[in-house]
Amino acid sequence: MSADSTSSFVKRLDGDPVEVEITRDMIKRGLIAAPVLIAICALIWGIEGAYSAAFAVGLVMLNFALAAWMISVTAKISLNLMMAATLFGYLLRLGLVLVAVLLVKDAHWISRAALGASIIVTHLGLLIWELKYVSISLAQSGLKPARP
């Protein structure tokens, strides 16, 4: 193996953690959307729906924050480690969401329907909302360009 192939094996990313910036934006948008989602769930499922929606929004935002943290930390060490953390971190985070749901599924303050719907709507809603602001252009470092 040549020195070049060995060095690319342990290559790391230096620079701004774009994934943290994107996640910070998603969490800000989640805090804006949370009262609306909580109110809708309260109208449909009552107070249990409101509590379930609040729990779901917090769980989803924690999930996104954990993902960004794992990627930003491992990218500074090695790209291979970052790829492993992304794949296995997804499985780990999916397991954490499952455990969190299993821990509260029988609680008196939970509506399972509201919890499930809120988890799905919050994940997809924040990702779709963020698509509007994220540029696919390499020239913009993956973030929305500043307006002139």
Which range has highest mean pLDDT (6-10, 31-35, 129-133)?
Answer: 31-35
**Within-domain flag for 114:** yes
Answer yes or no: is pLDDT of 126 > 80.
yes
Among residues 112, 133, 100, 145, the alpha carbon closest in space to that of 45 is found at 112
Mean pLDDT check: name the lowest of 3-17, 35-49, 60-74, 99-113: 3-17
Mean pLDDT check: name the lowest of 11-20, 40-49, 108-117: 11-20
**Within-domain flag for 143:** no
**Within-domain flag for 38:** yes
Number of separate domains in the chain: 1
Q: How far apart are CA 68 and CA 110, in angstroms?
A: 28
> Is the pTM value of this prediction over 0.85?
no
Give the pLDDT of residue 1: 42
**Within-domain flag for 3:** no
Q: How far apart are CA 146 and CA 96, in angstroms?
A: 36
The per-residue DSSP string of 77-106 comes to T-HHHHHHHHHHHHHHHHHHHHHHHHHHTT
Domain span at 58? 17-137
pLDDT mean over 24-36: 93
**Within-domain flag for 79:** yes
For the stretch 43-72, pLDDT in tens is 999 999 999 999 999 999 999 999 999 998
Answer yes or no: is pLDDT of 2 > 70.
no
What is the percent of the chain with per-residue pLDDT over 70, rounded to a whole number?
A: 79
Cβ–Cβ < 8 Å for 63, 122: no
**Within-domain flag for 8:** no
**Within-domain flag for 132:** yes
**Within-domain flag for 147:** no
Answer yes or no: is pLDDT of 137 > 50.
no
Residue located via tokens 């924050």: 65
